[in-house]
Amino acid sequence: MTVKFFDFARNSYQYSVTFKFDCLDLASIKNLTQHLLVDKKRFAIVSKDSQDKAALSRGEGTEQGPLFQLRLREDNFVLGVGWFVGYQKWREWRDLLIMDSLPVLNAIPVSFVSQLSGQSSVAIPPDKVKDPSKLEWMAPLRKLLGAMVPEEMTVRSNLFSTLSDATAANLVDIWSAPLGQGAGEEAISFTYRRAVFDEKLSLEQIIREHCRRSDELLERFHSNFLALFVDD
């Protein structure tokens, strides 16, 4: 199946492993920082983030130097990239950093993990958004909204929805909102979270499977949902 993926050079991606309590001690954070910054040279600088926790980064967030970052907290491991990083590049870099971090991550039992989360956000320019009044599949929704509010109050909107399976082990969050007053741009975020795990597996195994499923669902979201109202 051909995947239709939207990227107007302002996508961002994030992958996080959240623990039920403080599982990364100072020695683990220090050793992992040295391994990634000094030995592997995956990052250029290390600093403290707004919460005084370790943040490793490379790039300034420009087209010539996109931002790649890892934030380490006692209860959280978060990889992220900013604008100008393509989807395939993000996947390759995420998988590489997870592989580099396995000596630390695999020492943590799966039963200590609270949640795995893969998130993507896409900024859609106003000229790429299809005219809702011309989309036949939106006619029932327009009729429903028209029964509640006047048409002039349906020009701008936002969306938040959480979908899950029967056990709430797998969850998808979708939200959209205007990026700025009068800018006309829309930011749409897609997150796949997993909160229940097979404790017979290693942390590496559950992360790899979650990444695979996260990518699959994100591609379906772009191909089958965004394509309904976004022009490429």
Above 80 in pLDDT, residue 182? no
Show the domain range for 187.
12-126+157-227
Domain presence at residue 96: yes
7-66 pLDDT per residue, tens: 999 999 999 999 999 999 999 999 999 999 999 999 999 999 888 889 999 999 999 999
pLDDT band at 184 (very low <50, low <70, confident <90, very high): low
Residue 149 lies in a domain: no
Number of domains the chain is built from: 1
Q: Does residue 206 lie within any of the structural domains?
A: yes
5 within domain boundaries:
no
Determine, yes or no, domain membership for 139.
no
Give mean pLDDT, residues 143-167: 86
Residue 223: its pLDDT value, please?
94
| 129 band by pLDDT with thresholds 50, 70 and 90 | confident
Quote the longest CA-to-CA distance of the chain: 62
pLDDT tens-digit profile of 61-120?
999 999 999 999 999 999 999 999 999 999 999 999 999 999 999 999 999 999 999 999
Report yes or no on 88 lying in a domain.
Answer: yes
* pLDDT higher than threshold 60 for residue 142: yes
Is the residue at 152 inside a domain?
no
Q: Which residues of 181-193 are buried (b: 16+ CB within 10 A; e: fewer)?
A: eeeebbbbbbbbb
> What pLDDT does residue 130 have?
86
> Is residue 133 in a domain?
no
